[in-house]
A and B are shown apart, each in its own frame.
Chain A
Amino acid sequence: MAVFALFAFLAVASAMVVVTHRNPVYSVMSLVVTLISLAVMFVLLGAPFLAALQVLVYTGAILVLFLFVIMLLNIEREAPGGGHKLQKLGAALAALVFAGLLATWFVAAQGAVEPVPLDAEAVALVPLARHLFSTYLLPFEIVGVLLLAAVIAATALARRGGTSVGEDEA
């Protein structure tokens, strides 16, 4: 429970830094803390494989991608006081509505829904593999097609004009 409280706090606090910090590189670094905290949540839920993937793929690979995008777009710093007044008002309103919905949902669910302990058997690696390669075989193969689409899309988008990626000047 203490571990959960600590990392829940860390996840929320670092997520706040992600959206409020003006330097996008600091935001990404803060996102690292958020994602590692979530990996700890996965461990607490009895899914160490997911936790390892969270660290490897999200904090390892995807955030490097984020940093690359920041580098490529030459984003240095958000201008102080940036953002339209109406934009701020809209964001505050949206946050308020979302918080309200969440709160009512929590209150309504209090007592109405019996908390169910997580089935540790279902998220461990071996049962996960068994389900993935039998029940969810078709989705698994479709993931392959999705990844193929991503490969082709990324390569095609990086092409400049009619030249292939290897030919154009840096």
Chain B
Amino acid sequence: MESYLPILVFCVIAAGFLVVSLLAARLLRHRGSGRTSREPYECGNEAESFAHDHRFSIRYYLIAVLFVIFDVETIFLFPWAVMFDKLALFGFIEMVVFLFILIVGYVYVWNRGALNWA
């Protein structure tokens, strides 16, 4: 359990950073300003419309889904790498079969043009 102490320290520092920066901003900021300070870009271009008025491309979603899928693939590589010496050739072939199945998917996605943004 002691080995999780760094994580606890990390959490405390993260929470402390949050509290300190919010407090500092509260103490330092200029107050009593009007409508413009509530704009998304106070010193930039005026926003022409709301983000919710627009439709987003499905490609954002597709990229995210593909990321999750290949993320899960790499998870299986981790225990395999830990046991690599003991699994020997048989384990290597197992992983090659697994990776081959997913590379088929990768080639499919590539051919479909799902990775092109233009």
Interface residues of A (CB under 8 A from B): 43, 49, 53, 56-57, 61-62, 64-65, 68-69, 71-72, 74, 76, 125-126, 128-130, 132-133, 137, 140-141, 143-145, 147-148, 150-152, 154-155, 158-160, 164-167, 170
Q: Report the interface size for chain B: residues with CB under 8 A from the other chain.
A: 47
- A133 contacts B83, CB within 8 Å? yes
Known contacts being A147-B72, A159-B112, A164-B113, is A71 close to B83, with CB within 8 Å?
no
Q: Which residue of B lies closest to A67 (CB)?
A: B64
- B79 contacts A165, CB within 8 Å? no
Q: Does B12 contact A (CB under 8 A)?
A: no
**What chain B residues lie within 8 Å of A166 (beta carbons)?**
112-118
Binding site secondary structure of chain B: helix
- The 10 A-B residue pairs with the shortest CB-CB distance in the complex, in nearest-first order: A166-B113, A129-B79, A151-B105, A166-B116, A144-B101, A170-B57, A129-B83, A154-B65, A165-B114, A158-B62
**What chain B residues lie within 8 Å of A53 (beta carbons)?**
75
**What chain A residues lie within 8 Å of B112 (beta carbons)?**
155, 159, 164-166
Q: Which residue of B lies closest to A128 (CB)?
A: B79
- B59 contacts A76, CB within 8 Å? no
- B52 contacts A74, CB within 8 Å? yes
> Per a CB cutoff under 8 Å, which of A74, A126, A129 touches B55?
A74
Known contacts being A57-B72, A61-B71, A125-B79, is A148 close to B101, with CB within 8 Å?
yes
**What chain A residues lie within 8 Å of B60 (beta carbons)?**
68, 71-72
- A151 contacts B52, CB within 8 Å? no
- A126 contacts B58, CB within 8 Å? no
* Complex CA distance for A130 and B68, rounded to whole angstroms: 25
**What chain A residues lie within 8 Å of B71 (beta carbons)?**
56-57, 61
* Complex CA distance for A151 and B104, rounded to whole angstroms: 10
Q: Which residue of B lies closest to A74 (CB)?
A: B52
